[in-house]
Amino acid sequence: MEFTIRSVDQSATIRTLTLEAPTKELALQSAAERGLRVLSISGGASAGMPTLRKRKVDFPVGHFSHELLTLLNAGLALVESIETLNEKETKNERKYILGKLVADLFSGSSLSNALAQFPEVFPPLFVATVRASERTGGLPEALEKYVAYQSQLDIVKKKIVSASIYPVLLMVVGTLVIGFLLGYVVPRFAKIFEDIGGDVPWMSRLLIDWGHFAQDYGSMLLVAIGVGVVALVFWLTRPGTPAKLVKAVQQFPALGERIRVYQLARFYRSLGMLLRGGMPAVASLELVSDLLPGALSQQLNAATRLIREGTPISVAMEKNGLTTVVSARMLRVGERTGQMGEMMERIALFYDSEISQWIDWFVKLFEPLLMAFIGLVIGFIVVVMYFPIFELAGSIR
């Protein structure tokens, strides 16, 4: 079988190579004999779980790290801890993964090599963190850092989600109310005005024409709306859609800068965790390059080339637009004190605080504006519907 292996060689350069081997274990062994430290392995087939790589596996890496850390701190050995997690697990896919980890550890494999067999489950960042800890013997500390890393990311994500719930709910309710007015109320008013006769204002005439159209072709409109909703949901669930939406939003100067800061925060936190775990700077930069999209990834590649040539990290980052005024100064301080990993994590915390404040400000401004806009639309429809009634009342006087 053919396996694709992403690894770090003795010069701290990340390499991707293809190996032929009967099993993954032999492929990993072959890579180790070449002096490579495996970050991830893919390809081939898994005898016990042939469908595992055909879809995304539901395996909570953050929760697994937290539980494993708790058991290790309680005094259990590594194999015993994973065995305990396997015994309490009820889902077949998760039991298979945990059971395979236990079997590999019993056969003498390292935890990082065992994790690298499941690149669809354990991200390269997690595997690299565990691998770095194996050289220092500090697996609990590495897991603690990864748990803190995931917790901080979750805090920012929850902040964004919670801030968007009310505006989304407001837009949905407003759309339903406007749809009810245009699809049910306006057609009935149109029939009443047609029976009364007489001249009506041109805006009311447009609304009445719409009412006739909705009454005559209501079923077709419902089908068209249903097809549009299904097409929208399908488009939103496609893999490339989120990146396209982010790219479109980045065209707005204020929003684009905040998205850039959020992406840099995630990048600096990941890089800082690897550096504190003992990973070389260049290898760490190459490993986290996938966290930055599009143009930022290209800027990082240029910065990595400069760092490989001997340029200080702060200079390379600043020259390629991967810093702000604050982070550039903090990177220079990190270089002077020799605590670059810790300084990068502090930069991420600073960015997170800045993003949280901006989200609070944006929500406080956006919610009343959205309410005012929906109220104006609904009020406009109601007033236009009642114009003919006002005209009729004036003619009676």
Q: How confident is the model over 171-181, as pLDDT tens digits?
A: 888 888 888 87
DSSP state string for 90-149: -SHHHHHHHHHHHHHHHTT--HHHHHHT-TTTS-HHHHHHHHHHHHHT-HHHHHHHHHHH
CA distances to 36, 235, 262 from 242, in Å: 35, 10, 15
Residue 50 has pLDDT above 50, yes or no: no
Q: Sign of the CA dihedral 14, 17, 21, 23?
A: positive
The domains of the chain, with CATH numbers, are 1-44 (3.10.20), 153-179+217-397 (1.20.81.30)
Instruction: Please give the share of the chain, as a percent, with pLDDT higher than 70.
Output: 84
Instruction: Please tell me the distance from the alpha carbon of residue 335 to that of residue 345, in angstroms, as a whole number.
Output: 14
DSSP state of 49: -
Q: Of 76, 13, 24, nearest to 46 (Cα)?
A: 24
pLDDT per residue as tens digits for the range 300-349: 888 988 988 888 988 998 899 888 888 899 999 998 888 888 898 889 88
Per-residue pLDDT of 139-192, as tens digits, reads: 888 888 888 878 877 877 787 777 778 888 888 888 888 888 777 777 777 666
Rounded Cα distance, 37 and 280, in Å: 13
Strand partners, 41: 5
What are the tens digits of pLDDT across the range 73-112? 888 888 888 889 888 888 888 888 888 888 888 888 888 8
String of DSSP letters for 256-313 = HHHHHHHHHHHHHHHHHHHHHTT--HHHHHHHTGGGS-HHHHHHHHHHHHHHHTT--H
If pLDDT is split at 50, 70 and 90, which confidence band does 136 have? Answer: low
Q: 46 falls in which pLDDT band (50, 70, 90)?
A: very low
Q: What are the DSSP E strand ranges found in the chain?
A: 2-8, 14-20, 37-43
H or E segment and range at residue 82: helix 78-88
Residue with tokens 């701190």: 73
| 36 C-beta neighbours (distance < 10 Å), count | 19
| Cα distance between residue 124 and residue 137, in whole Å | 19
| Opening angle at CA 290, ends 286 and 294, nearest 5 | 115
pLDDT tens digits for range 52-81: 444 556 788 888 888 888 988 888 888 888
**Percentage with pLDDT > 90 across the chain:** 2
* Cα 327 from chain centroid (whole Å): 23
Helices 202-216, 340-396: inter-axial angle, 10-degree rounding:
100
Name which residue leads in pLDDT, 129 or 351: 351
The pLDDT tens digits of the residues spanning 226-255 come to 898 888 888 877 777 776 776 776 677 777
Give the pLDDT of residue 273. 81
> Are 319 and 306 contacting, i.e. CB atoms less than 8 angstroms apart?
yes
Helix, strand and coil in the chain, % to nearest 5: 75, 5, 20
365-390 pLDDT, tens per residue? 888 888 888 888 888 877 777 766 66
Q: How far apart are CA 372 and CA 170, in angstroms?
A: 11
